[in-house]
Amino acid sequence: MNYFKKHGEALLYVLPAALMITVFFVSSVIYTFYISFTDWDGLTRSHWVGLSNYMEVFSDVTYITSLKNTFMWVALSLVLPVGLGLLLSILLQQMKGQRFFKNLFYMPYAMSLTVVGVIWIFLFSPSGINYLLTHIGLESWAKDWLRTPYYNTFAMLVASIWQGAGTNMLLFLVGLGSLPKDPFEAAAIDGANRFQMFWKITLPLLNPVTIVVMGLALVNSFKTFDIIWVMTQGGPYRSSETLAVTMYRESFMLFHFGQGAAISILLTVLSIVASWFYLKKTIVEE
């Protein structure tokens, strides 16, 4: 009772937003969960099918492929963009003209993923990277990057890393700039080299920033859609689809709303579980 007396006015200001979240978010989640147990096509009357949609997700080859691709995107997104961002931040920390290079590497993040996808479609076309490879004597390396399974996933990952590494770099640069100097001075007196300082001092002190960067990468990797849809639309033959792309195709192109809703629920559960394990692990380590 004392809490409501003390914060009653503040709660009244929060109440409209809380009601909107309840109506538009919570109700949507509940309705999506209901649809996942039906065969609704958006027009005709829906029929209850139980767990059939979920069973199909784990038995159909197309869905299994998109599930594997999703896990691959998650794993590589936790390693490559984060690692590259850390490397760039360390290199730029001691470099002259840091402001110019920070803006240069951050610029791709200011672009929408649609624009990034269009740029890299051109770069992976015959007149782009393949043209360069041919003229430097590496014709055998030239590929049909966006129409060949596995190679197209590599191409899209390159585009995604190019777009996101700059943000990670800035976050790590802020972290590096806030590190205390005393541990490094003491280590230098003890004869530690740069690698030892980085491994024993810099990385542990950067742990809070690393947790944030990897947490953001984890959440974003599960919902990867734009870059894939723009560059390959999940092709060829749906071989490069992730769960987010498959959910969109099933729901809004094939009008299998029940299966699309089941994939949506699965994707949400995977994101929550992965985030929970990640946060639990980092909290225990702290």
Please report the pLDDT score of residue 248 as a whole number: 94
- Per DSSP, what are the bridge partners of residue 38? 48
pLDDT over 90 at 261, yes or no: yes
91 or 284, higher pLDDT: 91
In percent, the amount of the chain with pLDDT more than 90 equals 28
pLDDT over 80 at 9, yes or no: no
Rounded to an integer, the average pLDDT of 214-235 is: 89
Give all domains of the chain, ordered by start, each with its CATH number.
58-285 (1.10.3720.10)
What is the band of 284 on the pLDDT scale with cuts at 50, 70, 90?
low
Rounded to an integer, the average pLDDT of 72-89 is: 89
Half-sphere exposure of 169 (CA within 13 A, CB side): 26
Q: pLDDT per residue over 113-155, tens digit each?
A: 889 999 999 999 888 888 888 888 888 888 888 888 888 888 9
Please report the pLDDT score of residue 8 as a whole number: 66
Please report the pLDDT score of residue 137 as a whole number: 84
pTM of the model: 0.84
233-259 burial, b at 16+ Cβ within 10 Å, e below that, comes to ebeeebbbbbbbbbbbbbbeeeebbbb
pLDDT over 80 at 97, yes or no: no
